[in-house]
Chains A and B, each alone.
Chain A
């Protein structure tokens, strides 16, 4: 229960940062934090099912003893996607900073609307 509450706290931290922070780089980090919270949730829950390495045809025996590989596989994918999203977001933030000299989203909106 404590673990889940902490994960929820991490998630809310990310969400609050995404809404409240005006800095594009901090928004990108906030997104990464939200993503990490969900990764932790999956790993926490996935780890409670089974204990043995899930190798098909390798170790015979009770299938229920295998660790469920799906949450891990899904989270590996989510982490990769998260890295792509962060990289792209930072690239966009960098281009915006080079064009307008600020990372503040409200300032940027003003600059853009005046164009």
Chain B
């Protein structure tokens, strides 16, 4: 049961970053004085560090099953109701870990300035709000704030490509939000309510559960959120946005921002009669996404774009597990989402650092990354070790964390087509990261080949960049070693009685499967870097990408989902 105290505490993860954003904006008016820098640092501390205290204090009530509350104590008819439970707590932990590490990195590598801090904190605040919303109106606001902040952050590198990526993302996702409103309108007309509980009660009272209108409204809402999650077929905006954003932003976008809307959607679908059908359909699309996106990733030549396609592939794993609609599926999805936030954040930061140090992002040209990093002041090989840990995590090598979470997901699909789809995706991931790792090979000598590029002028690997990467790398190892405990904890928070079947780190069938995936991956890698492999890669890369294609893919996805849901009814 909710006490006034808990309700106030549960708003802190939302209000602290928002208050921090206000402080950072105020710091902007002080124009670069020492007071401005102090105020900006205080704002970041208040917005990214203090919420951990609130989360620690909220842990007992979250473990006890959570509570619902109305913001500022207004009565339910006119107030905003929120729910703070195990899911909110876990998603908040994911969000604040990813955002905190990325912010520390940005202190060294940029973007800097109070306006960046302000927008970053607004985004963090919206993440926390999205995690516990139980009202369609509020979900709409949260998603729009989240979206607006992320469009600005994508564009904040100022490069032409980033501006265009931000525009495309903005246009397609705003168009999708118009459909979200249409779906919201459908539910409101049917039930006269916008809270999840009210909609569920209203639909239950209508004979036939609302018929076609309810099915089409569900499709509109699900499709609009699917864009944010970047599941097939609506992932087209992501590679440009994540590849061209500043590295710290790429880490947050890939690590946190694409997952929070997924968990928020799961909360909504639990209340809808067609919710589990919609969830299963999106989950199947997720398994396909995991495999298709990794094949495209394997063909990329831009290092960060390669990582961006891997984000789509990894979110496919998460969506597939989430699509089961069971507490065990949700726990495995969260576990992989959390681990992915750690290792993909790490990969974006380390590969971004390497690209800046070497002055190029072309995987086929970049060689001698270690030497370039040493020239940029990274004598202790922090970046190289960080990259190695990230790469071993994503390719599911024990004892690192990716092994456990991918094992927990594939255990859910034993004897199913999705099991093999995810296994194939795992092998391709190995191949793709072998290819990316060639940037550490020594530069080739013969003059016909491109020489290692000159290090970027004045680029230094600063202590805050190293601190951020060290933290994430350490987390990848620690969470890998303690996976069983973390998995059991998450399962307990999400009410999965049977727990998760996390494979043993030392030996066993799952480890043998990893060996097989590595062998297949190595063969695929050899194929991919051969001449015919490179020609195929170039063909995959040069397939046309257009803005109209994004909207058409969304419309097609929405139409298919709507038709399937109407039939399933």
**Is there an interface contact between A38 and B170, defined as CB atoms closer than 8 Å?**
no
Count residues of chain A with CB under 8 A from any CB of chain B.
Answer: 41
**Nearest 8 A-B pairs (CB), nearest first?**
A112-B161, A92-B167, A81-B144, A38-B181, A34-B178, A19-B551, A99-B160, A85-B174
Contact present for B163 and A96 (CB under 8 Å): yes
Q: Quick check: B148 and A19 within 8 Å, CB to CB?
A: no
* CB < 8 Å neighbour of B175 from A31, A56, A93: A31
Encode contact with B along A74-114: 1 for CB under 8 Å, 0 otherwise: 10011001001100110011011001100001101101100
Contact A45 B167 (CB under 8 A): no
B188: CB under 8 A from chain A? yes
Q: Is there contact, CB below 8 Å, between A92 and B155?
A: yes
Which residues of chain B from 131 to 153 have any CB-CB distance to chain A below 8 Å in the complex? Answer: 137, 140-141, 144, 148, 151-152
Nearest chain B residue, comparing its CB with the CB of A113: B161
Question: Is the CB of B567 closer than 8 A to any CB of chain A?
Answer: no
Question: Is there a chain A Cβ closer than 8 Å to B296's Cβ?
Answer: no
> How far is A80 from B149 in the complex, measured between Cα atoms in Å?
15
> Is A85's CB under 8 angstroms from B175's CB?
no
| B156-167 to A contact mask, C-beta < 8 Å, 1/0 | 001111011011
The answer to whether B225 has its CB under 8 Å from any CB of chain A is no
A6 to B455, CA, bound (A): 60
Interface size grouping (class) on chain B: 35 or more
Beyond A45-B185, A100-B160, A108-B164, 19 additional contacts (C-beta under 8 Å) are A38-B178, A38-B181, A38-B182, A41-B182, A41-B185, A70-B188, A70-B194, A74-B140, A74-B184, A85-B174, A88-B151, A89-B171, A89-B174, A92-B151, A99-B160, A109-B546, A111-B160, A115-B160, A115-B161
User: B164–A112 contact, CB under 8 A?
Assistant: yes
A–B pairs, 5, beta carbons within 8 Å: A19-B552, A31-B175, A74-B140, A85-B170, A109-B546
Residues of A within 8 A of B189 (CB): 45
Contact with A along B181-195 (1 / 0, CB 8 A): 110110011001010
Does B539 sit at the interface, judged by CB under 8 A? no
Give the nearest-CB partner of B550 in chain A: A19
B interface residue numbers (CB < 8 A to A): 78, 137, 140-141, 144, 148, 151-152, 155, 158-161, 163-164, 166-167, 170-171, 174-175, 177-178, 181-182, 184-185, 188-189, 192, 194, 545-548, 551-552
**Chain A residues in 8 Å Cβ range of B167:** 24, 89, 92-93, 96
CB pair B160 A88 closer than 8 Å: no
| A99→B163 contact, CB < 8 A | yes
Check if B141 sits within 8 Å of A77, measured CB to CB.
yes
Contact between B170 and A105 (Cβ–Cβ < 8 Å)? no
Select from chain A the residue with minimum beta-carbon distance to B141.
A77
A18 near B551: Cβ-Cβ < 8 Å? yes
A 1-41 contacts with B by CB, 8 A: 15, 18-20, 24, 27-28, 31, 34-35, 37-38, 41
